[in-house]
Amino acid sequence: SAVISQKPSRDICQRGTSLTIQCQVDSQVTMMFWYRQQPGQSLTLIATANQGSEATYESGFVIDKFPISRPNLTFSTLTVSNMSPEDSSIYLCSVIAPRTDTQYFGPGTRLTVL
Amino acid sequence: SQQGEEDPQALSIQEGENATMNCSYKTSINNLQWYRQNSGRGLVHLILIRSNEREKHSGRLRVTLDTSKKSSSLLITASRAADTASYFCATDAEDYGNNRLAFGKGNQVVVIP
C-alpha cells in the first residue's frame, strides 16, 4: 500500500487568491494524480503528474488555472489559482502503489472559496 | 472519457442486513476498483478486480465483474453502522490509459443501528 498525506486538510480562501496543496507519499512512485470532487459529486481527474516531465491535464483543466509541480518521486503540489466560489471542492491526490495497479488516495483538502 | 456509473440509489438498511450496489461502464477495462468515502473525507480502497477475474472477496466484501455486461457489483454482508458511507466504483479503461481512473456517481449507504 501507500500512505499519503496532504496539506492543508482544509482552508477557506477569498476570491481571486491562490492556494497551493501539498501531497507527500511514503514511497517513491512514478505517477501521481490530482482529482477534484465538487460538493455532492463524484471525482474528476484534473491531471497526471510524472516526475521530470510536464503534467498532463484532462479536458477542461488548464495549467494556468491548476499549475502542478513534481520535484521528486515522493512529492507534488497543486495550485488552485485566481479562485472563485466554483472552485470550492475537495482536492485529492492519489498514487499507484509500487508493483500494483491499486490506486491509493490521500485524505483530501477541503477548499471553500468565499 | 469513459465513466463508471452506479445505480443512483441511496440504500438505507438495518444493521446485520446485506447491501448490494451496482456499477456499469461503457468500454473495455483493465481493472475496476471500489472505494469507500466517509463524510467527504479521503477515499479508502476496498477491492481491485481485474478484467480476467469474475469474483473477489475481502472480509465481508464480495465483488463480482461481468465484462460481457460491462457491470460490477459490490456486496457488503452483515452490515454495521460503520459501513455508513458513500461507495464509488472506478474503472481503469484500456483506451483511457496510464492508470487514469474514471469514477462512477457513487452510492450512499446508511446502516441503521
Residue B15's pLDDT is what?
A: 96
Beta strands B55-58 and B10-14 are unpaired
Is A102–B48 a contact, with Cβ atoms under 8 angstroms apart? Answer: yes
Q: What are phi and psi of B73, to 5 degrees?
A: -130, 150
Is B40–A107 a contact, with Cβ atoms under 8 angstroms apart? Answer: no
Contact criterion met (CB below 8 Å) for B1 and B96: yes
The answer to whether residue A45 neighbours chain B at the CB level (below 8 Å) is yes
pLDDT tens profile B9-64: 788 999 999 999 999 998 899 999 999 999 878 899 999 999 999 999 999 999 99
Surface-to-core class of residue B100, CB atoms within 10 Å of its CB (0-12 exposed, 13-18 middle, 19+ buried):
buried
Distance CA A96, CA A93 (A): 11
Q: Which residues contact B71 (CB under 8 A, 6 or more apart)?
A: B22, B23, B24, B25, B65
Better-predicted residue by pLDDT, A86 or B7 = A86
Residue among A43, A102, A110 whose CB faces B103 most closely: A43
The amino acid sitting at A29 is: V
Is B45–A104 a contact, with Cβ atoms under 8 angstroms apart? Answer: yes
Contact criterion met (CB below 8 Å) for B111 and B80: yes
pLDDT tens profile B71-96: 999 999 999 999 999 999 999 987 77
3-state secondary structure at position A79: strand
Contact criterion met (CB below 8 Å) for A96 and A29: yes
pLDDT tens profile A69-110: 999 999 999 999 999 999 999 999 999 988 888 999 999 999
pLDDT tens profile A7-49: 999 999 999 999 999 999 999 998 899 999 999 899 999 999 9
Report which of A92, A96, A82 is spatially closest to residue A31, judged by C-alpha positions.
A96
Distance CA B100, CA B34 (A): 14
Minimum Cα–Cα distance from A9: chain B residue: B41
